[in-house]
Structure 1
Amino acid sequence: MTVDKPAVTIRPMTRRRPASRKPRRPPAATTGGRLRLIGGEFRRRQLPVLDQPGLRPTPDRVRETLFNWLASAVPGARALDLFAGTGALGLEALSRGARQAVFVERNARVARQLADNLAALAATDRARLVNAEAQAFLAGDPTPFSLVFLDPPFRHGLVGACCHALEAGWLTEAALVYVETESSLVPEVPASWQLHREVRAGDSTGRLYRRHAAGSRSSDSDAC
C-alpha cells in the first residue's frame, strides 16, 4: 500500500507484544464500535471503528444488498472509496476480489485507524490510502476506476460537485458509481449516468448508477 500524505504521515502499525504471542485481531480503537465485513476473503472479520462525529459506516444490510448487486462487477475491479471514513465499502470490495482500492479520507485520526485495519487484514499490497480532502484528490491527475463509492457527510452539499468531477477522467467508460445520501436529497448526477438500483435504510438512500458514455466502448480489462 502506498500512502499519500499532503497533511499527515500515516505511520505503520506497531505491535508491542511478546515475540512468543501472535496477534489474532486488529488493535482496538480508543473508543467506538466495530465494523463487520460481510463476504469474501475477510468475511466475519471485525475491525475497530473510532467514535468520531459524523463517522457512520454503511449499515450491514445495505452493504449486503449493494454487493449482491455488484457480485459480477467487483472481482478484478479498480475501486475508489471517496470520503472513506471506516473504509467499509472499499474493504468489502477488497474482500470480494477487487484488484485495488484507493481510500480517500481527510481526517488524520480516522485515516490512521483505516491504515491499521488494512495492515491487520494484510491487504496493504492492494490498497492506497490518501489523507486529503476528496475535492482536492479529484482536482489531481486522474486515473480511471471501474467502481466508485461516494458517501460524503450528509447535508454538506458535496455530492453534486464530486459526481461531476468524477467525469474528468476518473471513470472507465462503463463504470459503476454508488452514491449514498440523506433520503431527502436527490443528487444531481452527470447525464451519462443511469440509475440502476436504489435502496433506503433509515435516513439514508443508496443509489447505484451505471455510466454510459456516448459512443464509448469499454475494454475487457476495465469493463464491469
Structure 2
Amino acid sequence: MSRVRIVGGEWRSRLIDVAKVPGLRPTPDRVRETLFNWLGQDLDGLTCLDLFGGSGILGFEAASRGASAVTIVEHDPRAFAALRQAAITLNSARVEVIRGDAVRFAQNASEQFDVLFLDPPYKQGWLARLEPWLERVLKPDGWLYAESEAPLAGLGAWRTTKQGRAGQVHFHLLERRQE
C-alpha cells in the first residue's frame, strides 16, 4: 500500500491508502490543485462521479470540498477494497463506492451528475468507449474532467476549455458545446 494526501477542504492533509494495482496512478497534488482552482474550491451541492476510481483521490477531494454526493466506480477488487476502507476511515456518508465496470455503469446510470471525473488506464480506448454514454451521466451544464496520454480537443458534445500537462499526463476540463 502507498498513500495519497487530500490537498483541500474538510479533510485537507488527510492521507488515504492506495492499493498496489498495476497501472494505477493517483492524480498528482499539483494537478488536483489546478483542477479544483478551475472548478472553484467550493463544490457545495454538486454531485460528482468518478468512473475509474483507482486511488479515489479525485472523488475524495471533491467530497472534502463540499460535494453533496460522490459516486466512485472501480472494477479492480483490491482498489475497490482500499476505496471502501478510505470511505469508512473518513466517515463520509456523502461517498458511495461501487464495484463495477465504468462503461456498464454509464450505460445503466439512472441519474446525471454535475461533475464527471475520467482518469482511465491509458492506451486502452476507454474514453472512446465512454463517449456515447456521456450525455446519460453528465448534466448538460456539467463539467467533464479527463486525463489522458495525449491532448484532447473534445469528447462527444464536450469541448476542452482548459488544459495542462504534468509529465506524461495531459489533463483537461471540458464544457458542453453551446448549440
Indicate the TM-score class for this superposition, using the shorter chain for normalisation: over 0.9
2:152 counterpart residue number: 186
Q: Report the alpha carbon displacement of residue 212 of structure 1 after superposing the two structures with TM.
A: 4.0
CA contact (8 A) 1:105 1:132 kept: yes
Residue 2 of structure 2 contacts residue 17 of structure 2 at CA under 8 Å; is this kept in 1?
yes
Q: Provide, for residues 169-198 of structure 1, a one-character-per-residue CA deviation record: whole Å limited to 9, x for no partner.
A: 211120000010013x536511x3121110
Using the TM superposition, give the Cα deviation of residue 63 of structure 1 relative to its aligned residue in structure 2, in angstroms: 0.4
The residue aligned with 1:37 is 6
Give the conservation status (yes or no) of the 8 Å contact 2:144–2:175. yes
- Which runs of at least 4 in structure 1 moved beyond 3 Å after TM superposition? 185-188
Structure with the higher fraction of residues in helix conformation: 2
Q: TM-score, normalised by structure 1?
A: 0.76
Tell me the residue number matched to 1:129: 97
Q: 1:200 aligns with which of 157, 162, 165?
A: 165
In structure 1, the residue matched to 2:139 is: 172
* Corresponding residue number in structure 2 for 1:103: 72
Inter-partner Cα distance in structure 2 for 1:66 and 1:138: 23
1:145 partnered with 2:119: no
Match of 1:21 in 2: none
How big is the shift at 1:163?
2.7
2:10 partner SS: helix
SS of 1:162's partner is helix
Counting matched residue pairs gives 179
Deviations 1:64-112 (A, max 9, x none): 1101111166221100001111101000000000000000000111101
Instruction: Name the CA distance, whole Å, in 2 between partners of 1:142 and 1:200.
Output: 33
Structure 1, unpaired ranges of 5+ = 1-31, 215-224
Give the share of equivalent positions with the same residue, in percent. 38
What is the alpha-carbon root mean square deviation over aligned residues?
1.5
Q: How does the TM-score come out when normalised to structure 2?
A: 0.94
Q: CA deviation at 1:113?
A: 0.7
- CA shift at 1:161, angstroms? 2.1
Q: 1:187 to 1:87 in 2, by over 3 A?
A: farther
Provide the C-alpha distance between the structure 1 equivalents of 2:29 and 2:69, rounded to a whole number of angstroms: 22
Could you tell me which of 58, 61, 69 is aligned with 1:92?
61
